[in-house]
Structure 1
Amino acid sequence: MAKLRLRGKDLIDIGYPQNTSISIAMEVMLRHFKRESKDKVLSLLKEVLLDPEKFKGDGMYGKIAEALMGAKKTEARKLNATRAPFTIFGENEIEEGAKEQLFTALKLPISKAGALMPDGHSGYGLPIGGVLATANAVIPYGVGVDIGCRMCLSIYDINPSFIDGHKDKYTNILQTQTKFGAYEVHKSPNDHELFERDAFKNIPFLKKLKDKAFQQMGSSSGGNHFVEFGIVEVLEKDNQFKVPPGRYVGVLSHSGSRGLGANIAKQYTTLAMKQTPLPAAARHLAWLDLDTHDGQEYWIAMNLAGDYASACHHDIHKRIAKALGERPLAMVENHHNFAWKETINGEELIVHRKGATPAQENVLGIIPGSMTAPGYIVKGMGNAQSLNSAAHGAGRQMSRSQAKQSITQSELKKVLKDNGVTLLGAGLDEAPMAYKDIAKVMANQTELVTVVGTFLPKIVRMDRG
């Protein structure tokens, strides 16, 4: 069948008003119905025109209906002259560029409050370690490219001496049961109930991403993502994960939503930048109003990506548990690239945590160090000044390019040997020296979290780098 030829005049002829509804309708139909007849396409568009309320929120036609019902105009947005209230933790350890990024975000007309965690460093849009509360709006780059990036720890009733005594076994488990980077996937991915979600059926953009998401299930991205065996030490007697104080074998993973999250971030950041144009310094902070079709669609997509990231971690941990022939005593996990609806000062706001750990009162989380430094199992203290947040790791003190230029392979091998760590994969950009001192980071957030346990890496698997 010939390719669809659709003109604005065709839509005007069937009654479409001469506004953005025409360009939006043409974009939707040419993308999804390019092999259909013009008569069929115009008939579908006529249905939407006659009763746009009926199609409000529809994955295919919702945006057209919104335009027909009089959506808000696209107009350049100005930054406020003053910043929303904020607090910076460990300010002396944070580079000026990261602070400036937070200060810019605090001037958005939608911003209500902000904070910067002690592991903070520069990123895109919000700084890494940045927390921002906004009114009825979500910033895709405030969530980040790796939506739902998270930590997951399984604790096993195995004597930690087994890691050294059976190093070959543990190394082989990581090499065979974990996959990293853009091209490594499991030969037989495990299915999951989330692939039956309505979002994958009703939102055309997500429908196209489903097959790749299925193929990547149970795998990890490159960069700073890892799966590692290590030694867990539980310090608190009456803890929420019900493991007695002592030393155990642990499996710790760090990864996110793979290609699914990256594509969602790209798509909706582009839409946000078109809908809320901002000055150059703030352009990556463009937002989507949650009263709009695109805002609601991103919210659904973001939550799907977060659930997918969680499912990937659970898949990884199940594979490792099966290879170990053991069941974990407990699992502790948390997101750190996400947005939540939370009540701040009596008002429901959208709280973005880009590289920040949720730390509401008594909520558990994991804050990793570098591949040779301890990580921490923590319990939130519900500090209002941090918007109930804490650091998500040690934080970088060198950019990736700086690390590659200034750290040698021999230096990396020495620090690994000195700390008794076996490394599988990873480039120089992930060397421990590229990261801040996790002890300093933790010292700068004693009012945010309580430490209930530690994790010391022993065998670390990462992408080849």
Structure 2
Amino acid sequence: MSITGKTLIELGYRPGKWFKEALAHANSHQLEGQALMDYLAEVQPTIFDPHAAPLPYHRNIVASTEEEIENTASVFATMNHLMKTPTVEAGAVMPDACPTGSPGGIPVGGVVVTRDAIHPSMHSADICCSVMMTSFGHIDPKLVLDAAHAATHFGGGGREEWFDLPKELEAQLKDNHFLGNEKPQMLAKSHLGTQGDGNHFLYVGRSEQTGETVMVTHHGSRGLGAYLYKEGMKIAEAFRREYSPRTLKSNAWIPYSEELGKKYWDALQLVRAWTKENHTVLHRATSQSLKVEPTERFWNEHNFVFKDGDRFYHAKGATPLDDKFVPDGHEGLRLVPLNMAEPVLIVRGETTETNLGFAPHGAGRNLSRSQHIRNQAGRSTKAILAEETKGLDVRFYSGHPDISELPSAYKSAAAVQQQMKEFGLGEVVDKILPYGCIMAGDWQIDAPWRKKKRK
């Protein structure tokens, strides 16, 4: 008598990909009775169910205002869901934390440690969002901002004139399992030297310690990273359906011990290398335009997955302090931007039990962009800009201001810095005091589909 899938279901097994191979083996060897049961017990996949209760995590955050209290409660609620994920071993919340996406998703300002598991949703589509600084010595900051404005690109899509992608990196991308086809190759070339939109910026200021003029860029891996994220989520979801169907879809993972897990990890490292180059071409072009040699340059990501043995540290908007996470770091120094009217902090620090090796990545938000804009109703954009950018050279690349990116949209910079001290989240060793910045602005006003609709 032939054994079928119905037979296995009647025996209490959940259907899955393993049925096909198991049925072929059982029928070819004419297994039955105890021999069949012993074989099925051996080959059935291990199912990983969520923890019955959330694992404890470190709460490096204090709320004082009504908005902060509401925001922090939402952060803790989503972390409580997330910390039930079966792969999770530890977690932490930074002072700049704010929820994003559906309940159970990692919040901005969240750090989650897993074993043998890479969770694509925990690095998000903006893989390797990061910051880079270059010091140009004692030079007029306006000259730097003007040169940078001519070099950079904000908004949707890529550049019309491309920077040269390094040949070695291009070859590595072509050889990669995930990034070797035509679409990511095109994105890697056309998006090089672009900064996107949202909270990404190009900032110019002066070092409090040296007085030198410093440029800081903030952006991620653009279309290339978004492409890899989508591919990763597809694979993670396939593993989730087979091995952990009760886990939230948002927290699906790819086991690193699987071949695809190692290939995905390799792809992440290439996206990291591309993103560093994405910063570098803008800094190099600005330097060449000014005919000035940089005196110092370093960078760090704050939206990535970091590996230590078989443990994976997922930082969604959290700055790695520990040197083991930043192999190309610079004397242990890291950058933590706040908002356009506040300094960019230069910090260093060590791993503690409560910080897990991380610091905040900025000031964070208490309100969504749309709610912040609604709160400004009745005030003109001109009045808002005059108040919030007074004394600063603030430019919007699209020509259309975006008030959801002004200082009032973010948490108190002073409170974030105070909580960094309170919870041991890095020591401030210098500050880059603001002169001005460039952001995308509301570029979608002039997007092709908007223009067509208006016509």
Q: Contact 1:201 / 1:207 at 8 angstroms: preserved in 2?
A: no
Q: Larger deviation: 185-194 or 102-111?
A: 185-194
Per-residue deviation, 1:205: 4.9
Per-residue deviation, 1:351: 0.7
- Is 2:52 the counterpart of 1:88? no
Q: Contact 1:148 / 1:335 at 8 angstroms: preserved in 2?
A: yes
Identify which of 98, 123, 138 aligns with 1:158: 138
Matched position secondary structure for 2:181: helix
After superposition, the C-alpha distances for 1:91-111 in whole angstroms (9 at most, x for unaligned) are: 324521212222222111111
Identify which of 319, 333, 340 aligns with 1:357: 319
- Is 2:393 the counterpart of 1:421? yes
Give the Cα–Cα distance (whole angstroms) in 1 for the partners of residues 247 and 406 of structure 2: 31
Q: State the match for 2:215 in structure 1.
A: 251
- Say if 1:171 and 1:341 are closer, same or farther in 2 by CA, change over 3 A: closer
Q: Contact 1:200 / 1:210 at 8 angstroms: preserved in 2?
A: yes
- Is 2:262 the counterpart of 1:296? yes
Q: State the match for 2:186 in structure 1.
A: 211
Give the Cα–Cα distance (whole angstroms) in 1 for the partners of residues 221 and 173 of structure 2: 16
After superposition, the C-alpha distances for 1:348-401 in whole angstroms (9 at most, x for unaligned) are: 411111100001277221110111111200012222311100000000122111
1:130-145 pair list within 5 angstroms: 130-145=110-125
Q: State the match for 1:119 in structure 2.
A: 96
Give the Cα–Cα distance (whole angstroms) in 1 for the partners of residues 246 and 375 of structure 2: 32
The residue type paired with residue 192 of structure 2 is M
Matched position secondary structure for 1:418: coil
Give the Cα–Cα distance (whole angstroms) in 2 for the partners of residues 359 and 328 of structure 1: 24
Per-residue deviation, 1:130: 0.6
- Say if 1:186 and 1:153 are closer, same or farther in 2 by CA, change over 3 A: farther
Per-residue deviation, 1:418: 2.4
After superposition, the C-alpha distances for 1:286-317 in whole angstroms (9 at most, x for unaligned) are: 11111223322221121111111111011110
Give the Cα–Cα distance (whole angstroms) in 2 for the partners of residues 353 and 71 of structure 1: 35
Q: Contact 2:95 / 2:109 at 8 angstroms: preserved in 1?
A: yes
Matched position secondary structure for 2:277: helix
1:50-449 pair list within 5 angstroms: 73=45, 77-92=48-63, 93=68, 94-124=71-101, 125-159=105-139, 162-163=140-141, 167=142, 169-185=143-159, 187-203=161-177, 205-208=179-182, 209-234=184-209, 246-277=210-241, 282-342=248-308, 348-360=310-322, 363-407=332-376, 408=379, 409-425=381-397, 426-446=401-421, 447-449=424-426
Q: Contact 1:104 / 1:281 at 8 angstroms: preserved in 2?
A: no
Give the Cα–Cα distance (whole angstroms) in 2 for the partners of residues 153 and 113 of structure 1: 31
Q: State the match for 2:4 in structure 1.
A: none
Per-residue deviation, 1:460: 1.1
Per-residue deviation, 1:190: 1.8
- Say if 1:417 and 1:431 are closer, same or farther in 2 by CA, change over 3 A: closer
Q: Contact 1:195 / 1:210 at 8 angstroms: preserved in 2?
A: no
TM-score normalised according to structure 2 size: 0.77
Matched position secondary structure for 1:338: strand
Give the Cα–Cα distance (whole angstroms) in 1 for the partners of residues 346 and 213 of structure 2: 14
The residue type paired with residue 99 of structure 2 is S
Give the Cα–Cα distance (whole angstroms) in 2 for the partners of residues 453 and 232 of structure 1: 7
The residue type paired with residue 195 of structure 2 is S
1:33-44 pair list within 5 angstroms: none
Q: State the match for 1:34 in structure 2.
A: none
Q: Percent identity between the aligned chains?
A: 27
Q: Contact 2:158 / 2:190 at 8 angstroms: preserved in 1?
A: no
The residue type paired with residue 199 of structure 2 is N
Q: Contact 1:85 / 1:112 at 8 angstroms: preserved in 2?
A: no
Per-residue deviation, 1:443: 0.9
Give the Cα–Cα distance (whole angstroms) in 2 for the partners of residues 198 and 229 of structure 1: 33
- Say if 1:172 and 1:184 are closer, same or farther in 2 by CA, change over 3 A: farther
Per-residue deviation, 1:20: 4.0
Per-residue deviation, 1:172: 3.2
- Say if 1:232 and 1:424 are closer, same or farther in 2 by CA, change over 3 A: farther
Q: Contact 1:133 / 1:352 at 8 angstroms: preserved in 2?
A: yes
- Say if 1:192 and 1:386 are closer, same or farther in 2 by CA, change over 3 A: same
Give 5+ residue unaligned stretches, structure 1: 1-17, 24-69, 235-245
Give the Cα–Cα distance (whole angstroms) in 1 for the partners of residues 357 and 44 of structure 2: 33
Q: State the match for 2:435 in structure 1.
A: 458
Matched position secondary structure for 2:208: strand
The CA RMSD over aligned residues, in Å, is 2.6
Matched position secondary structure for 1:296: helix
Give 5+ residue unaligned stretches, structure 2: 1-14, 21-41, 324-330, 443-455
